[in-house]
Amino acid sequence: MKETIVIKIGGNASDQLPQTFFNQLKTWWDQGKKILIIHGGGPQISQWSEKLNLSVQKIDGIRVTDSETLNVTKAVLLGLVQPKLCQFIANAGLPVIGMNASDNHLLQGQYLNHEEYGEVGKVTSINKDWLDEQLTDQIGILAPLAQTSDGHWLNVNADMAAATIAIQLGAESLVLLTDVPGVLNSGEVVPQLTETAANQLFQNNIIKSGMMPKIQASFKALKNGVHQTFITNDLCQPGTQFQYQN
């Protein structure tokens, strides 16, 4: 069975992908690995929300999403960020397909906490067989939006979506690609991080709230069968690798 690598790309990172990113994708593709990219678009969503005079509010790194913000989120992710990423990867000579929750009921979800976050959810199940089949012949680019059982769209934190999808795919690796080289402490990358150490850094206000969903996603994946998880700004550099404690 082919190994699967899940990569989450943040909105900032998606606009400044270096040549090494495409080189590493090609190396993995040539080695016969399946590759799925989950893309965020936080900065772009915030920019368009502000242009439309919509409030921008986050709680512990999760965007509070009313119905208007949900429409902006869908438009930005599916109409701007995803097509751009697909074009970049196609230009690198790699086969690629853009996907979203409505493709064969790909991502099913439920509300996280409607009263607190609004139209925000979590991924509860995926159409694994269909997704596996798509990844056999092309690199997948997937937006972190889910649908409820009655077809209502939900905004999903991309880090947590990537972790859940990586778990359900039985992925070998989860890489959270962001605009910093890893988890930083006094300006230096922490090369390896346990959950206990991460909690201590957060309590000491060294890890900020925006990084917390990435760290939580990394440990969630690691605890549920994903062999290795990383936060980095370069696919060729390990950044911070997470270690599971029994």
Computed over every residue of the chain, the mean pLDDT equals: 92
Positive or negative: CA dihedral 35, 3, 122, 237: negative
Cut 0.85: pTM above it = yes
CA distance 158 to 62: 10
Within 10 Å of residue 135's Cβ, how many Cβ atoms?
20
Contacts 24+ apart (CB under 8 A), 80-84: 80/41, 80/44, 81/11, 81/14, 81/39, 81/40, 81/41, 81/44, 81/143, 82/39, 82/141, 82/143, 84/14
pLDDT digits (tens, 9 = 90+) for 186-229: 889 999 999 999 988 888 888 876 788 889 999 999 999 999 99
Amino acid found at 138: Q
Task: Map out the domains of the chain with their CATH numbers.
Answer: 4-243 (3.40.1160.10)
The two structure tokens encoding residue 154 = 């939900």
pLDDT digits (tens, 9 = 90+) for 132-152: 999 999 999 999 999 999 999
Give the residue-averaged pLDDT of 8-18.
84
